[in-house]
Homo-oligomer: A and B are copies of this chain.
């Protein structure tokens, strides 16, 4: 049953476009889900994609546009007039509509909004545009089903038929008082199983989860995941609970995916949101800055080694161990940071900073001891002097402990200062750990061997 974008299908579509076989093209597209059509259009060139978009009606194309790759959507929207974009917007739910408008260059935004015919829709979208994209207000839609506590079940069902037309999926029915303040919820199921003459005030459930319109998007995702919610109402403030909109789980799935992708890219040393199919230029801009950072780090270790140059005479092997030390410092640091970053994301980093640092010291002592013994064994096999391999083992262990402490400390501090701690798993910390590790390695080696 699953859609597969094959080369044959793509060739067929291209042929139908080329021969302007509108009828067959339309029939073919009608069989597909809009998300699948978007996948096809992402593979076509702009001219071909525009041809298909002009062919289909705006009810479908509005959904297709929302599913297109962001870069492609931008190109398509550039090719549409303000009037045409407004027509697409009319078909979208308010949250998607606001997102699409927000992506437009500022000078076009007003032009498009002015062309929206439905006054209510226009007012609602304008309201949503005022919110930041990473707070609850930026995720919510105005479409929801709302009933007043004074209504009866029968009256409710009648009116819901009207409201529900605009709402794709009815998750919960929100109950408000005369001042439009959220006081509870009901499910369609509750409504169907209630007697028709009952008052809403008598059957609604007063315990209702909600979020403040300025709540952070990631926090909303956490709440919805924790309480297994499929939709959550958004209110003006904790004091004044005027119902403003609702957020549905599909938007939260997107937030979670974006967040995970961003963390993963940060850890891998890729800034900006890039994809495998982006241009070489876009990819370079995302990757080069981190490499330059790494280069400076590497040049830093050149300096350090030059300052210990005198050791070359008696202990040249020390220099052979520098990539090993750098790798250990980097790996340990990233491991420590990653665990803290995930712990912070899941709110499980509790207890004092001191106890956490002590735990890392304990862990590093175990890891360091095992690795140190392996180094001494290696030295034995390689016929190295015992005090030399011992020196390497001890300095390596110190490097491991310090790297673990830095790896633990930095994300916690970043988080406390409101900076995304995931940065700490990226090249910035790795590079610092590399340099610092090599410095420490030579410093301790000098203390022991005395060169």
- Cβ-defined contact, A316 with B326, below 8 A: no
- Cβ-defined contact, A331 with B269, below 8 A: yes
- Cβ-defined contact, B288 with A370, below 8 A: yes
| A136 sits at the interface (CB 8 A) | no
- Cβ-defined contact, B260 with A264, below 8 A: yes
Residues from chain B with a CB closer than 8 A to the CB of A294 are 324, 327-328, 331
Residues from chain B with a CB closer than 8 A to the CB of A326 are 323, 326-327
Residues from chain B with a CB closer than 8 A to the CB of A260 are 256-257, 260, 263-264
CB distance from A329 to the nearest CB of B (A): 10
CB distance from A388 to the nearest CB of B (A): 12
CB distance from A420 to the nearest CB of B (A): 14
State how many copies of this chain the complex holds.
2
Choose one: B209, B299, B322, B325; the contact of A1 (CB below 8 Å).
B209
- Cβ-defined contact, A348 with B276, below 8 A: yes
Choose one: B256, B299, B322, B425; the contact of A257 (CB below 8 Å).
B256
Interface positions, chain A 323-340, Cβ under 8 Å from B, are 323-328, 330-332, 334-335, 337-340
Beyond the given A295-B328, A301-B320, A302-B317, please list 11 additional residue pairs across the A-B interface where CB-CB is below 8 A: A188-B189, A228-B250, A230-B230, A268-B337, A270-B338, A275-B342, A276-B348, A277-B348, A288-B370, A305-B320, A326-B327
A-B contact pairs, 22 of them (CB 8 A): A2-B223, A35-B227, A161-B192, A188-B189, A252-B253, A260-B264, A263-B264, A265-B342, A268-B334, A275-B343, A277-B343, A291-B332, A291-B367, A291-B371, A292-B374, A294-B331, A298-B321, A298-B328, A301-B324, A302-B321, A305-B320, A319-B320
A: residues with CB less than 8 A from B are 1-2, 33, 35, 43, 157, 160-161, 164, 169-171, 187-189, 192-193, 209-210, 223-228, 230, 238, 249-250, 252-254, 256-257, 260-261, 263-265, 267-270, 274-277, 280, 283-284, 287-288, 290-292, 294-295, 297-299, 301-302, 305-306, 309, 312, 316-317, 319-328, 330-332, 334-335, 337-343, 346, 348-350, 356, 359, 362-363, 366-367, 370-371, 374-375, 378, 425, 427, 430-431, 434, 438
